[in-house]
Amino acid sequence: MPLPLLPNENVYIDHEILYNYSMPAIQAATDHYNIGFIVSGDRRWISNECIRTGHSGDIGIAKPGVYHRNCSISDTPYERYVLKIRTEIFKPVIDIIGNETLNSLCTNYLHFSKNSQKTLYNMCEEMLNEYNKKTPASQLILQGMVYKFFFYIYDNHIKSSTDN
Q: Which residues pair with 81 in a beta bridge?
A: 15, 37
Question: What is the amino acid identity at position 67?
Answer: Y
Residue 52 buriedness (CB in 10 A; 0-12 / 13-18 / 19+): buried
Query: CA 63 to CA 32: how far, in whole Å?
Result: 7
Question: CB-hemisphere CA count at 13 Å for 99?
Answer: 0
Question: What is the amino acid identity at position 60?
Answer: G
**13-51, pLDDT tens digit by residue?**
999 999 988 888 999 999 999 999 999 999 999 988 889
Listed as ranges, residues in the chain with pLDDT below 70 are 1-2, 161-164
Helix/strand/coil (H/E/C) assignment for every residue in 80-120: EEEEEEEHHHHHHHHHHHCHHHHHHHHHCCEECCHHHHHHH
Query: CA 75 to CA 54: how far, in whole Å?
Result: 14
